[in-house]
Amino acid sequence: MKIQAVIDALKQETDPENKVSPKSIDQLIIGNPDNEVHGIVVTFMATVDVIKSAIKEGSNFIITHEPTWFSGHDQTEWLEQNKAFQVKKQLILDNNITIWRFHDHMHFAKHDLIMKGFGQQLGWQQFLKPGDTDGKNVLEQAELCFDLADETTLEQVLLRLKQRLNLHAIRYIGDPKQKVRKIAGLVGGASLGLGDERNPIELMADKNVDLAICGDITEWTLSAYIRDCNMLGINKSMVIIGHERSEEFGMKYLVSLVEQLTNVKTTFIDANEPFSYFV
């Protein structure tokens, strides 16, 4: 099976009506799509360590969710004289690796595949609710809120996140004893509002969300709102786990779909949290 056939199968499965623009960020990043595929690796990001692991696995095709070349659209002209770019590119070329970015198709599928994997990793998939088609903004319309069967506490959610997402430390706002039932999974950049920084705050207020689990943050928007809510005795809380930890597990649960569509051995390689912590 050729690499291009794998790409075509995934596009067809996630976007059968071709709604995702051909000019989206889901592009071939480097390599030859006409090569036969010998093994597939899926990952949040094709870091140097991920590429080396793929080579060790004997895989020649990496499906990455996020950029390889340090900017949103994987542009490389500005990097031509950059040593890190040069060495990383040569590593890929020397080992005949092909890398394709699979981002927009995952998020725009009938059910967001990143959210699906996030829910599965937390054991909450059965609590994920459909979006409100009449919602006032893109977040309210999206399938991203979990309505737990039983009320819990912020502390219990923090423990679950730490254990199931392999987190070394977690930033949060709120009283650990706060009651939590309705949770918004604002993974990746969703916590920034997806085009309007007011969207997460409207979601939490309009839909009575108790807790936002966030990827990226801006400290003067949602976090400032949650902080003031706590100062006013309003039951709202937030947890910040970062872009990578919030989306990585969507790639983990992509393995079964890729193997189902291609019958090619597919391996998940964790790109790992990018930061170390000094405490």
Q: How many residues does the chain have?
A: 279
Binding site annotation covers 38?
no
Widest CA span in the chain: 61
- Residues paired with 266 in a beta bridge: 40
Closest CA to 253 of 241, 264, 268, 272: 268
How many CB atoms are closer than 10 A to CB 66? Answer: 22
Q: Encoding tokens for residue 70?
A: 């340090």
Say which residues have a Cβ less than 8 Å from residue 110's Cβ, sequence separation at least 6.
none
**In which element (H, E) is residue 267 found?**
strand 266-268
Residues 148-180 as b or e (16 or more Cβ within 10 Å = b):
beeebbbeebbeebeeebebeebebbbeeebeb
Binding site annotation covers 247?
yes
**C-beta pairs of 229-233 under 8 Å, 24+ apart in sequence:** 230/173, 230/174, 230/175
Q: Encoding tokens for residue 179?
A: 């009651």
Binding site annotation covers 197?
no
- What's the distance, CA 193 to chain centroid? 15
Sheet hosting strand 266-268, strand order edge to edge: 28-30, 98-101, 61-64, 40-43, 266-268
What residue numbers does the annotated binding site for a divalent metal cation cover? 65, 243, 247
Going by the annotation, the residues of the binding site are 65, 243, 247
